[in-house]
Structures are given as C-alpha cells and as structure tokens.
C-alpha cells in the first residue's frame, strides 16, 4: 500500500434493513484499496465493521460506478441494499429522483418511491446452470442436494432452501457447508426461506464471504424468484429478514428491490490505522 494520506480516509456508514456497509467515495479520495484494508475495515472490533464495502466512482455512461467487496476481501458483483443506500445519498445530494448505476451486474436503475423507499432494478434473474454458475448441468429448480433447494443467479450465485420455520434454521451452522459445496465453483450465498402468508416470506441468510447477515438485497431477490418459480408465491413478494422488511417485484424488465435505507454516520480512518496496514 502507498503511504497513507495524513488526513486519513473518509467513509460513510449506511445500512438497509440492518445489512450494513462502509462506503468510500473515489470521487473525493484517491486512497488505494487492498484486500488487507477491506478485511481490516470489516473487523467489528478493531475496524469499522460491515457486511460489504462499496466503492463509488465516476462513470462517463452512468451517474455512478459501484464496486462491492465482501468482508473477507473478495469482490461481489451485486449488492442490492448497498446500491439502494448509495442511490439515496446521491439523490439527496443532486435532487435527482432516478439514477443509472454501473456495477459488475450491469447498468442498474434506481428510483425514489417516496414512502415505499428507494428501489433498484437488480436485472433479470439467471436460472440456467451455466449462468449461475454451477459445476455441471442440473435442474436449477430442484437441485440434487439434500433439502431440495433452488439455485438462482443475481449477478452472484444463490442457494435457497424452503423450510417450515425460518427461525429454526441455523445459518451459522449450515451456511459454511453449503457456501462451499462443490456444485458451486464460485461459492454461493445461502438462504433459508419459509412461506408465512400469501406472497410473504421469512428469510434467514448466510452471505458468501461475509457470514450471517441481518438482510441482503440479492439474497432477498433470489429467494423471492425461487419462491415464484416453485409456485409458492406470486412475483410480488414481501420478505421479512432478521433486520427488517424488503419488497421484491419480479417484472418483465428485471427484479425490483425496495425498502428502507439509512445513512448512519460519516467518519474518517486515521492515518495511524492506515499506516498499520502498509
């Protein structure tokens, strides 16, 4: 790492339904980023703590470009709640009600829906085994795994188990096993979902590269798509996560995710902290 800026590194802390993020705006700082810095920032005791880290940068063909990292330093192509949080902050700063955001998932659209929160179109779901990706050709709606789960791609891979009671699921115990199942060459996010009412799910989550999270935008979308494909719900679903409630609307133009967002605080990493990682 280059010598740390004597003024430190500014960041923002945000969350959507308890799914929390550190956001670094590359339009305002050129500070380098390494996997070691990502892991140090993710430490909830010695750093700041987050489920994902998001980098914001300018883009000539969009309002912003976003790059996401998991707590273990690995990159993630999609992060729905972070996208919504950043969109909300940019809308507040610019007065715009609609944005186009470039991610590894593609060019995503975000819009302010007033009392319904900030919505982002996460793009069409990927249901082919090669797209997700899986290691071999299988029926993605009924995987040949214990528990008869569903595989879905939302820019990152997902494995959804439908259970009788999501509160009895143990993501901390079972998540690591399924994240690293050989069927998923790029590892996978894992969701445990229960149908709790007409077009309503209760969800518990293990995120690839992060662990148990209170919510996850892409996981919420994947679980809702899986439920609709199984005929358990319609394509408009309310999803209750450990940290709050999100809404999914699977339309012809993609999967829309909406819900609350929060900008918690702005901070600055000290030069001494950064120097310790050099």
Q: What is the 3-state secondary structure (H, E, C) of the chain?
A: CCCCCCCCEEEEEEEECCEEEEEEECCCCCCCCCHHHHHHHHCCCCCCCCCEEEEEECCCCCCEEEEEEECCCCEECCCHHHHHHHHHHHHHHHCCCEEEEEECCEEEEEEECHHHCEEEECCCCECCCCCCCCCCCCCCCCCCCCCCCEEEECCCEEEEEECCCHHHCCHHHHHHHHHCCCCCCCCCEEEEEEEEECCEEEEEEEECCCEEECCCHHHHHHHHHHHHHHCCCCCEEEEEECCEEEEEEEECCEEEEEECCEEEEEEEECHHHHHCCC
Q: How far apart are CA 175 and CA 177, in angstroms?
A: 5
pLDDT category of residue 260 using cuts at 50, 70 and 90: very high
Residues of the chain with CATH 3.10.310.10: 9-112+261-275, 150-252
Closest CA to 78 of 57, 52, 100, 98: 52
pLDDT category of residue 274 using cuts at 50, 70 and 90: confident
CATH 3.10.310.10 fits 9-112+261-275, yes or no: yes
pLDDT at 23 over 60: yes
Strand 211-213 and strand 150-153: the pairing is: unpaired
CA angle 47, 53, 57 (to 5 degrees): 125
Average pLDDT over residues 82-101: 97
- pLDDT tens per residue, range 230-252: 999 999 999 999 999 999 999 99
Closest CA to 204 of 168, 236, 253, 246: 168
Q: What pTM does this model have?
A: 0.94
The answer to whether the CB of 171 falls within 8 A of the CB of 204 is: yes
Closest CA to 175 of 199, 158, 153: 158
pLDDT score recorded for residue 253:
96
> What's the CATH number of domain 150-252, 3.50.50.60, 1.50.10.20, 3.10.310.10, 3.40.50.720?
3.10.310.10
Mean pLDDT estimate for the chain: 95
Torsion of CA 89, 90, 92, 93, to 10 degrees: 120
């Amino acid at each position: 790492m280059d010598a740390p800026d004597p003024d430190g590194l500014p960041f923002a802390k945000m969350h959507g339904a308890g799914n929390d993020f550190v956001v670094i705006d590359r339009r305002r700082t050129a500070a380098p980023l390494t996997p070691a810095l990502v892991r140090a920032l993710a430490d909830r005791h010695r750093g700041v703590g987050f489920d994902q880290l998001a980098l914001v940068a300018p883009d000539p063909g969009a309002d912003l470009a976003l790059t996401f990292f998991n707590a273990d330093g690995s990159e993630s192509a999609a992060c729905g709640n972070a996208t919504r949080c950043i969109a909300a902050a940019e809308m507040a700063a610019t007065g715009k009600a609609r944005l186009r955001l470039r991610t590894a998932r593609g060019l995503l659209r975000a819009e302010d829906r007033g009392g319904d929160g900030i919505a982002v179109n996460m793009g069409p779901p990927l249901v082919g085994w090669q797209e997700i990706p899986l290691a071999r050709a299988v029926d993605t709606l009924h995987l040949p795994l214990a528990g008869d789960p569903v595989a879905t791609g939302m820019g990152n891979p997902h494995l959804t188990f439908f259970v009788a009671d999501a509160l009895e699921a143990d993501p901390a115990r079972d998540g690591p096993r399924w994240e690293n199942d050989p069927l998923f060459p790029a590892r996978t996010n894992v969701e445990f979902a229960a149908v709790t009412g007409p077009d309503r799910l209760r969800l518990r989550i293990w995120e690839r590269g992060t662990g148990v999270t209170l919510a996850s935008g892409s996981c919420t979308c994947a679980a809702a798509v899986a439920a609709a494909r199984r005929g358990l719900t319609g394509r408009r679903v309310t999803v209750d996560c450990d940290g709050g409630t999100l809404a999914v609307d699977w339309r012809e133009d993609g999967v829309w995710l909406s819900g609350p967002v929060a900008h918690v605080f702005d901070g600055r990493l000290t030069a001494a902290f950064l120097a310790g990682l050099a």
